[in-house]
Amino acid sequence: MEKREWHESAQERWDHNASNWHSKSVNMWTEGSRKDIVPFVVKNVPQGSKVADLGCGDGFGSYLLNQEGYEVTGMDLSEKMVEFARKQEKEGLDFVKGDLSHPPFEKGQFDAVMMINSLEWTEDPLHALKQISEVVREDGRVCIGILGPTAHPRENSYPRLYGEDVICNTMMPWELEKLANENGLVKEDETWVFKKGVSEKLTNNLSQELKQALTFMTLFMFRKTQADVEGLE
């Protein structure tokens, strides 16, 4: 699939899904699968930091980050999503339309980036990861949430096994960790979101590898290193 086709197909997909996503967003971020994300960011990124929420959807996650004391700019490929998001704009919270593969920001503009289940929707995840790294200052943080092996939305990439074009590049959590580490992003923290029925008691004594294997989502916090800065020059 040509890059232009991928970009346009992904935008069309999320424009079409925007209203449905918006109707569920508050619940996902406050009670559902995304409720641990903002606390994870707060744990690892100093309050008052400038944060880019890339692939922000309807912007509710950006709004929650702003409520915690961050200056947040949300970006999404979908115009419809950005329309929903802009209804929440206020001082320290704004939204723009943009592509992860070519984010419309200056080099080193942000102290941190949050990117939840959005890297999978790029045609070339490595290129997108490098572009994202550029907009983070040296020693800044990059929070990425990636769908785990048990996540039903991974089915978006299943038709590739029939030779069909897909616009979802799902990857395993260990693959993202390896890709990041090989490109100047050092892991500083990790946490896991499990499906209902998987209790803390069941996972406490498991290795990191086995925890990743059970996840609906794995959340990583990476630090941008000097090696990454030099590699992008």
Q: Can you tell me the distance from the alpha carbon of 69 to that of 87, in angstroms, rounded to the nearest whole number?
A: 19
- Residue 196, token pair as written in the block: 């209902």
E strand or H helix at 14: helix 3-30
Total number of domains in the chain: 1
Looking at every residue in the chain, the average pLDDT score rounds to: 92
Dihedral over alpha carbons 188, 31, 14, 51 (to 10 degrees): -40
Please report the pLDDT score of residue 200 as a whole number.
Answer: 86
Please report the pLDDT score of residue 211 as a whole number.
Answer: 95
Please report the pLDDT score of residue 14 as a whole number.
Answer: 77
**Residue 230 reports pLDDT greater than 50:** no
For residue 82, the one-letter residue type is V
Q: From 143, 101, 145, 134, select the one nearest 11 (Cα to Cα).
A: 101
pLDDT tens readout for residues 129-162:
999 999 999 999 999 999 999 999 999 999 999 9
**Residue 3 reports pLDDT greater than 60:** no
What share of the chain in percent tops pLDDT 90?
A: 81
Residue range of the domain that includes 102? 3-232
**Residue 227 reports pLDDT greater than 70:** no
Going by pLDDT thresholds of 50, 70 and 90, the confidence category of residue 228 is very low
Q: Can you tell me the distance from the alpha carbon of 221 to that of 107, in angstroms, rounded to the nearest whole number?
A: 20
What's the whole-number mean pLDDT along residues 152-177?
A: 93
We report the CATH number of the domain holding residue 56 as 3.40.50.150
Please report the pLDDT score of residue 226 as a whole number.
Answer: 66
Helix residue ranges, H only, 121-170? 125-134
**Residue 115 reports pLDDT greater than 70:** yes
Please report the pLDDT score of residue 6 as a whole number.
Answer: 78
3: how many CB neighbours lie within 10 A of its CB? 12
φ and ψ of 221, to 5 deg:
-120, 115
Asked whether the beta carbons of 129 and 119 are under 8 A apart, the reply is yes
Please report the pLDDT score of residue 37 as a whole number.
Answer: 97
pLDDT tens readout for residues 182-214:
999 999 999 999 998 888 899 999 999 999 999
